[in-house]
C-alpha cells in the first residue's frame, strides 16, 4: 500500500538534485523558464471550468491550484535567485546577496500607498540557502567536521538545547527536525538563543528556567465576558481568487482578492477562542444539567464514574478520538457522579459558563510564559546578587 501511495505522490520519481552546475545548463534552464507560461497555456487551452477542479489523486491539489502554485514557486523563484545572488567574481565564487532598499509612502491612516526603490545594499556572505525547496539540502557542510546527520539528511539536534553533535553549533526549524511551521521555527530560535547565551557564559545549557502558565477569569458580569463568546456554526468562507485567464495575462497580479469588511467581521466571529479554557469547580455544581442542555456540540456528560473504556460508551456524543484524553471531574456533591468533557468536541464557546447558575463553569484565559534569553540572563544576575 505504501509503495502505491508513493507512486501516486511521485509518478516520475522523487526529485534528485544535480549539484554539478555549469553555464550551459544555466542557459538551458533560463530558456525553459522563459517558455514555461506559453507551454502551460497551450496545454490547458481546451479545458473547461469543471476540468480545473479535477485532481490527480485523492487529497491532492486540483489543476487550478497547481497552476497558481507553479506561477508562484517556479517562475518567481527564478526571478528571486537571479536578482539576489551575485557571481561577479571571474572565478564564479559567490560574493554576497544584493538587496533593494525600498522607501514606502504612508497615507494618513498608516497604510502603504506606494513604494520606491532608492538604492541597493550588498551583504557579503560565503553561502546562500534559498528558502524555496521542500527538502533539507546541506551538501556544503563537510561530513568530517563532527556534525552527525540522520537518515533524512537532517543534523542530529538536541530538542532542548538545539545544539548538534558539534559543540557550539545550533540548528532549529525545518533544518533541525524536518517540516515545521513558522511558530515552531520562532520557538526553536528562542531556545537556541538561550543556549548560545549559556554557551558563551560557559554555563550548563540544560539548566533552564521552567515554563509557566496563568489562568485568569474572563467574566465581567452575570452575562458579560471580555471576549466574543457568541457561538457561530457557519462554515469557513473560501478566499476569492482572481480569474485564471486574468492571472495568465498578468503573472505578477495578486492572486487572493481578500474579503470585504462585512465578510472579514463574520470570519473573525468564527474564532474558537483557543486561549480561553473551560474551568470546572465540582464543589459548586448542583447537577441542574443546564450546561448539558445548552452545549451546541454535546461535549458534556454527567454520569457515574468508571474506567475510560466504559466511560466512552456512556457519553452524550461518541468520543471516537482515542488520542484525546477525557476531562473527568471530582465527585459531584449531590449524587457522587462526575462531569465529563470531551475536549476533542469542545469549541470553547462559553455557553456552559453563560448558563451555569452557580458559576461552577468559568471561562479563563490561559497565558503561557516561555522563558527567553533575556529572562535567563536576568535570573542569573539575581542569583549572583542573592549569593553575594
Model pLDDT for residues 85-94, shown as the tens digit of each residue? 544 555 556 7
The answer to whether residue 198 is domain-embedded is yes
For the ranges 79-93, 118-132, 276-290, 352-366, the lowest mean pLDDT is seen at 79-93
d(CA 12, CA 184): 32
Closest listed residue to residue 157, CA positions, set 180, 131, 128: 180
pLDDT at res. 328:
94
Q: Alpha-carbon dihedral of residues 167, 173, 175, 180, nearest 10 degrees?
A: 150
Q: What is the mean pLDDT of residues 175-190?
A: 86
Average pLDDT, the chain: 82
What pLDDT does 88 receive?
Answer: 53
139 and 151 together in one domain: yes
Domain boundary among 124, 147, 166: 124
Same-domain check for residues 185 and 225: no
Give the domain extent around 38. Answer: 2-124
How large is the average pLDDT for residues 148-169? 90
Residues 245 and 172 in one domain: no
Round to whole Å and give the CA distance between 247 and 253: 7
CB 209 within 8 A of CB 356: no
Q: Which of 141-150, 206-215, 229-238 has the lowest mean pLDDT?
A: 229-238
Cα separation, 132 vs 74, in Å, equals 9
Question: What's this model's pTM, rounded to 2 decimal places?
Answer: 0.47
Cα–Cα distance for residue pair 333/286, rounded to 1 Å: 8
Residue 353, domain member (yes or no): yes
Four-residue CA torsion sign, 311, 317, 320, 326: negative
- Based on the domain organization, do 250 and 277 belong to the same domain? no
Residues 341, 247, single domain; the answer is: no
| Domain-located, residue 383 | no
Lowest mean pLDDT among 2-11, 198-207, 325-334: 2-11
Asked whether residue 295 is domain-assigned, the answer is yes
| Residue 352 CB coordination number (10 Å) | 25
- Same domain as 339, residue 222: yes
Q: Please tell me the total count of domains within the chain.
A: 4
Pairing mode, if any, of strands 276-280 and 361-369? antiparallel
Residues 60 and 81: their CA atoms lie apart, in Å, by 28
In this structure, the answer to whether residues 294 and 328 fall within a common structural domain is yes
86 inside domain:
yes
Question: Is residue 382 one of the residues assigned to a domain?
Answer: no
Task: Assign 3-state DSSP to the chain and report helix, strand, coil percentages, each to 5.
Answer: 30, 20, 50
What's the CATH number where 321 sits? 3.30.70
Q: pLDDT at residue 308 above 60?
A: yes
Q: How far apart are the C-alpha atoms of 136 and 10, rounded to whole Å?
A: 18
Q: Could you tell me if residue 377 is inside a domain?
A: no
Is there a single domain that holds both residue 305 and residue 258? no
Cα(352)–Cα(354) distance, integer angstroms: 5
Q: 365 with 219, same domain?
A: yes
Q: Mean pLDDT throughout 48-64?
A: 82
* Pairwise CA distance, residues 328 & 325, whole Å: 9
Reduce the DSSP state of residue 280 to 3 states and report it.
strand
Contact yes or no for 322/342 (Cβ under 8 A): no
For position 1, what pLDDT does the model report? Answer: 44
Q: Please choose, from the candidates 341, 342, 325, the residue with its C-alpha nearest in 3D space to the C-alpha of residue 282.
A: 341
Same domain? For 242 and 204 the reply is no
Whether 154 and 254 map to the same domain: the answer is no
**329 confidence band (pLDDT: 50, 70, 90):** very high
Final residue before a domain boundary, out of 124, 158, 173 = 124
* d(C-alpha 95, C-alpha 89), whole Å: 7
The CATH number covering residue 147 comes to 3.50.50.60
Structure-block grid coordinates of residue 373:
534569553
Give one DSSP letter per residue of 99-158, joined into a string. Answer: EEEEEEEE-TTS-EEEEEEEEEEEEE-S----TT-SS---TTS-TTSS--B-TTSPBPB-
CA torsion sign, 177 to 180 to 183 to 186?
A: positive
Amino acid 89: pLDDT: 54
253/173 same-domain check: no
Residue 204 falls inside a structural domain:
yes
Amino acid at each position: 500500500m505504501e509503495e502505491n501511495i508513493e507512486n501516486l505522490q511521485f509518478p516520475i520519481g522523487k526529485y534528485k538534485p544535480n549539484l554539478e552546475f555549469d553555464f550551459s545548463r544555466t542557459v538551458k534552464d533560463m530558456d525553459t523558464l522563459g517558455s514555461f507560461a506559453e507551454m502551460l497555456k497551450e496545454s490547458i487551452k481546451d479545458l473547461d471550468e469543471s476540468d480545473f477542479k479535477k485532481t490527480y489523486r485523492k487529497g491532492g491539489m486540483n489543476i487550478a491550484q497547481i497552476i497558481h502554485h507553479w506561477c508562484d514557486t517556479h517562475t518567481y523563484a527564478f526571478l528571486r535567485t537571479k536578482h539576489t545572488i551575485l557571481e561577479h567574481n571571474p572565478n564564479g565564487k559567490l560574493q554576497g546577496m544584493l538587496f533593494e532598499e525600498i522607501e514606502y509612502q504612508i497615507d494618513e491612516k498608516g497604510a502603504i500607498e506606494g513604494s520606491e526603490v532608492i538604492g541597493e545594499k550588498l551583504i557579503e556572505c560565503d553561502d546562500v540557502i534559498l528558502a524555496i525547496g521542500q527538502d533539507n539540502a546541506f551538501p556544503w557542510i563537510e561530513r568530517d567536521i563532527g556534525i552527525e546527520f540522520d537518515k533524512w539528511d537532517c543534523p542530529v539536534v538536541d530538542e532542548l538545547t538545539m545544539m548538534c553533535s558539534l559543540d557550539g553549533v545550533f540548528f532549529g526549524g525545518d533544518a533541525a527536525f524536518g517540516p515545521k511551521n513558522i511558530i515552531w521555527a520562532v520557538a526553536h530560535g528562542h531556545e537556541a538563543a538561550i543556549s548560545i547565551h549559556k554557551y558563551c557564559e560557559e554555563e550548563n545549557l540544560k539548566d533552564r528556567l521552567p515554563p509557566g502558565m496563568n489562568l485568569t477569569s474572563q467574566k465581567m458580569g452575570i452575562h458579560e465576558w471580555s471576549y466574543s463568546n457568541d457561538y457561530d456554526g457557519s462554515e469557513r468562507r473560501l478566499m476569492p481568487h482572481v480569474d485564471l485567464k486574468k492571472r495568465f495575462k498578468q503573472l505578477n497580479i495578486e492572486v487572493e482578492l481578500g474579503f470585504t469588511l462585512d465578510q472579514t467581521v463574520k470570519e473573525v466571529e468564527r474564532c474558537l477562542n483557543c486561549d480561553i479554557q473551560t474551568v470546572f469547580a465540582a464543589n459548586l455544581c448542583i447537577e441542574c444539567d443546564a450546561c448539558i442542555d445548552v452545549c451546541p456540540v454535546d461535549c458534556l456528560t454527567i454520569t457515574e464514574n468508571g474506567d475510560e473504556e466504559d466511560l466512552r460508551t456512556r457519553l452524550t456524543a461518541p468520543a471516537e478520538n482515542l488520542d484525546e484524553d477525557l476531562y473527568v471531574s471530582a465527585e459531584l456533591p449531590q449524587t457522587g457522579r462526575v462531569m465529563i468533557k470531551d475536549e476533542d468536541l469542545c469549541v470553547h464557546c462559553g455557553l456552559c459558563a453563560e448558563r451555569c447558575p452557580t458559576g461552577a463553569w468559568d471561562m479563563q484565559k490561559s497565558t503561557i510564559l516561555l522563558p527567553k534569553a533575556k529572562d535567563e540572563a536576568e535570573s542569573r544576575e539575581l542569583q549572583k546578587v542573592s549569593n553575594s
